[in-house]
A and B are shown apart, each in its own frame.
Chain A
Amino acid sequence: MRLSLGTLLGLALLAGPARAEDTAAAPRVIKIVAKKFDFTPAEVHIKKGEHVVLELTSADRKHGFKVPELGIRVEVQPGTTTRVDVTPQKAGKFAFACDIFCGDGHEDMTGTLIVDP
């Protein structure tokens, strides 16, 4: 499995500055698998201010992973793990979706990232 370093570096900017306590402990890793036509899990919980790493893989073809309200947008390629650092600073429900058209059912390929207070 290949690490997408470019993506990782790019997303470090999106995640915002790491807090002091985040650097002390390894962030929680949340694995998300994309395949036609869903994400597993489709619901992801993170605590407000928690530093997590989303590890995205694809089981079949290229997909997109986009969380517009958190400024996250990456491509997920088969055979590659795409890592996204996230430290959400506001609670709420944030929809994510595949934004690379992948066939009949693409429109259903959605999920929710829930940031708990």
Chain B
Amino acid sequence: MANELDRRALLQLLGFGGVVLGSGLPGFSLVQAAGGSQDFFFLQLSDAHWGFSGPPNPEADQTLKQAVRAVNASTARPEFIVFTGDLTHTTDDDAIRRKRMAEFKAIVADLKVPKVIFLPGEHDAALDKGQAYQENFGPLHQTFDHRGIRFISLDNVSDPGASVGDTQIDWLKSQLAKVDKDAPVVILAHRPLFDLYPQWDWATADGAKVISVLQPYRHVTVFYGHIHQENHHETGHIAHHSAKSLIFPLPAPGSVPKKAAVPWDPEHPARGLGYREIDVKGKARTVSIQEFDVKGAKV
């Protein structure tokens, strides 16, 4: 406990642009019923692209393992971990896809954490509409409650055209209908739900429909991956936070004429890679974010 307190004392709200990076997620009846005012944290890992090889990361077969070791080395245990997609790098060969998924599962099975939530990325699920993914990781979208927060993971990748689709949007509506408009809701997805930079395909085809469904809910926070870097954006009162990858960083949206991986820097092999801790505190269910590199150092 002492270690946890020491470590947590190191955590602080990150600032960006003079704004505290945190989302107020006030408590509500579910919080009271579930004793949900207890502080906790979970980790977001994303875009491992297991199976990738190439100059952007000559250590591609080590980075995920390094992150697993870093997570396990911490004395403070997250209550769960969420992988927001692109667990594996895509391939046209179904057998290789399944092999990569099996290898990925074996690596992350070493994580010392009670629960791991998986989401698909287009690299995992777009070429076979999620068939191999479901065999290995379960449903393409799901919901669960944790300490008073309704978590909903969405699939915006198994359709190669990056649509969530009306069927899933209806399901989303049905899940949200079960909670109060003041309920704290966390949405997990792979691709951005808003038009971050459609010129680079950084969008969800029907993301605007999803956001309109979320709009009536007053305390919604979205965590996603796909763009291999941190990005913080708000659509109205909904905050969207993308995570770094575990394979190679990509340039800031529109910052270069052609999207390409940021070149590998042998002097700083972990630059731009990492994972994040998401802390939920107090009855207000305030969310704060702390970024870590793949060696577990705070950045």
Could you list which residues of chain A lie within 8 angstroms of chain B, going by C-beta atoms? Answer: 62, 64, 66, 68-69, 75, 95-104, 106-108, 110, 112
- What interface size band does chain B fall in? 20 to 34
Q: Report yes or no: A64 in contact with B259, Cβ–Cβ below 8 A.
A: no
Q: Report yes or no: B89 in contact with A68, Cβ–Cβ below 8 A.
A: no
Name the residue on A nearest B157 (C-beta): A101
Q: Report yes or no: A101 in contact with B122, Cβ–Cβ below 8 A.
A: yes
Contact partner, B198, options A68, A102, A108, Cβ 8 Å: A68
Could you list which residues of chain B lie within 8 angstroms of chain A, going by C-beta atoms? Answer: 89-92, 122, 126-127, 157, 160-162, 195, 198-201, 205, 257-260
Q: Report yes or no: A110 in contact with B259, Cβ–Cβ below 8 A.
A: yes
Please count the residue pairs between chain A and chain B whose beta carbons lie under 8 angstroms apart in the complex.
52
Q: Report yes or no: B198 in contact with A100, Cβ–Cβ below 8 A.
A: no
Known: A64-B161, A102-B160, A107-B259. A97 touches B122 (CB 8 A): no
Q: Report yes or no: A100 in contact with B160, Cβ–Cβ below 8 A.
A: yes
Interface secondary structure of A, over-half rule: mixed
Q: Report yes or no: A101 in contact with B199, Cβ–Cβ below 8 A.
A: no
Q: Output the least CB separation between A69 and chain B (Å).
A: 7
Interface secondary structure of B, over-half rule: loop
Known: A64-B161, A66-B198, A69-B199. A99 touches B122 (CB 8 A): no
Q: How far is the CA of A23 from the CA of B23 in the complex (A)?
A: 55
Q: Report yes or no: B160 in contact with A68, Cβ–Cβ below 8 A.
A: no
Q: How far is the CA of A103 from the CA of B258 in the complex (A)?
A: 18
Q: How far is the CA of A110 from the CA of B201 in the complex (A)?
A: 10
Q: Report yes or no: A68 in contact with B199, Cβ–Cβ below 8 A.
A: yes
Q: How far is the CA of A97 from the CA of B91 in the complex (A)?
A: 20
Chain A residues, Cβ within 8 Å of B90: 101, 103-104, 106
